[in-house]
Amino acid sequence: MTAPNLLRALRGERLDAPPLWLMRQAGRYLPEYRALRAKAGGFWAMASDPVLASEVTLQPVRRFGLDAAILFSDILVAPYALGQDVAFHEGQGPVLGPVPPSLDFDLSRIGFVYDTIRRVRDALPADKALIGFAGGPWTLACYMLSGRGGDFMPARAAAWRGEIGPLMAALVETTAGHLVEQARVGADALQIFESWAGLCPDVPRWVVEPTRAVVERVRAAAPDTPIIGFPRGLTQGWATYAQTTGVDALGLDERVDAAWAAEHLQPRWPVQGNLDPACLLAGGRALDAEVRRIRAALSGGPFVFNLGHGVHKHTPPEHIHALISVLRGV
């Protein structure tokens, strides 16, 4: 049997119909997600229960026939494995406790993630890929040092003061260990979500080098598992990031011009992206036109259609059906 289309594209093959998945494809915009979440009692209760988490992982694949499932979990399981308290409060986003004094990670604290992967891989058809993921070390440091989302001033100031070396070293080991374990138990591809790369005061030092170290460790243990890097918000240096880190493919946010990416990035790396989630929320003629524009710009090389960031919680599911019919030309 041939490999799932997502893996073919990530390994550098140009496909006539680009494979499709969406960041945050499982989530509050889906009624079946909201129903299960209400029953479970909250996001963390659902994410830490392999039966519920695997069901939520599969929901969008069933509904839309997407080419890949992405593990239903969160990047903040890594700080949790490092012993930090992590809580998700309704309508408020994540809140973290103080950074623990000892930075030894214990992946057995998040064994539920690996159980979820095993269950999803068993249930998923062979032509669909399962994507595992982790936060990039810098993005995890942003949450760990600031305690919550926002402008991450405490983390950015600590980086300027040169105080984050030991934490970043621990995060490289934790992230690499977490990704290796996901590949070992059944993830077919891995994505590194460096969602706050654009806020980093020293991208070469705190984004590129730590990611390179993570990729090196994961490659050594899982040489056949493609890695997608998603350094969201970089204003320059996408090629340097890909070249230096050694990721297999680049996830582009919506601010990267697709025609520029086709000329400067795609000849060397498969690219993934980059429809604006606000355009998917808008729907209608704007959505049609954007899907066509991005597909036309990037279909000349290896390409995975996706958003530039996650699905917004108010997105009508019908807009995803519309996206798919335009993308597939039916």
Identity of the residue, 57 or 245, whose beta carbon is nearer to ligand CP3 in the bound complex: 57
Question: Which of 8, 28, 212, 255 touches ligand CP3 by CB under 6 A?
Answer: 28
Give the per-residue contact string, 296-315, with ligand CP3 (x = CB under 6 A; - = no). --------------x-----
Instruction: Name which of residues 76 to 95 contact ligand CP3 (CB under 6 A).
Output: 76, 88, 93-94
Query: Is 74 in the active site?
Result: yes
**β-pair partners for 272:** 251, 304
128 near ligand CP3, rule: CB under 6 A = no
Two tokens at 231? 């350094």
Between CA 294 and CA 273 the distance in angstroms is 8
Give the per-residue contact string, 241-270, with ligand CP3 (x = CB under 6 A; - = no). ------------------------------
Closest approach of ligand CP3 to the CB of residue 70, in Å: 4
Closest approach of ligand CP3 to the CB of residue 192, in Å: 10
CA 22 to chain centre: 9
Identity of the residue, 133 or 303, whose beta carbon is nearer to ligand CP3 in the bound complex: 133
DSSP state of 20: B
Instruction: Report the b/e string of 231-250 with b at 16+ CB within 10 A.
Output: bbebeebbeebbebbebbbb
Query: Is 16 in the active site?
Result: no
Does the CA dihedral 75-131-43-312 come out positive or negative? Answer: positive
User: Strands, DSSP E only, in the chain?
Assistant: 68-70, 86-89, 93-96, 129-135, 189-194, 227-231, 249-251, 271-275, 303-307
- Among 283, 182, 276, 194, CA closest to 242: 194
Instruction: Name which of residues 108 to 127 contact ligand CP3 (CB under 6 A).
Output: none
Residue of 8, 14, 28, 63 marked active site: 28
Query: Is 151 in the active site?
Result: no
195 near ligand CP3, rule: CB under 6 A = yes
- Answer yes or no: are the C-beta atoms of 96 and 139 closer than 8 Å: no
Residue with the closest Cβ to ligand CP3? Answer: 195
Question: Which of 26, 66, 176, 271 touches ligand CP3 by CB under 6 A?
Answer: 26
Between CA 70 and CA 272 the distance in angstroms is 14
Question: Which of 4, 18, 27, 301 touches ligand CP3 by CB under 6 A?
Answer: 27
Two tokens at 130? 């399962």
Closest approach of ligand CP3 to the CB of residue 54, in Å: 12
- Among 245, 271, 249, 248, CA closest to 260: 271
Identity of the residue, 39 or 268, whose beta carbon is nearer to ligand CP3 in the bound complex: 39
Residue of 67, 74, 248, 253 marked active site: 74
Closest approach of ligand CP3 to the CB of residue 25, in Å: 5
225 near ligand CP3, rule: CB under 6 A = no
Between CA 12 and CA 231 the distance in angstroms is 20
With tokens 């409060």, the residue in question is 89
- Answer yes or no: are the C-beta atoms of 109 and 80 closer than 8 Å: yes
Closest approach of ligand CP3 to the CB of residue 274, in Å: 14
Binding site for ligand CP3 (CB under 6 A): 23-28, 37, 43, 70, 72, 74-76, 88, 93-94, 133, 149, 193, 195, 310
- Positions marked active-site: 24, 28, 37, 74, 143
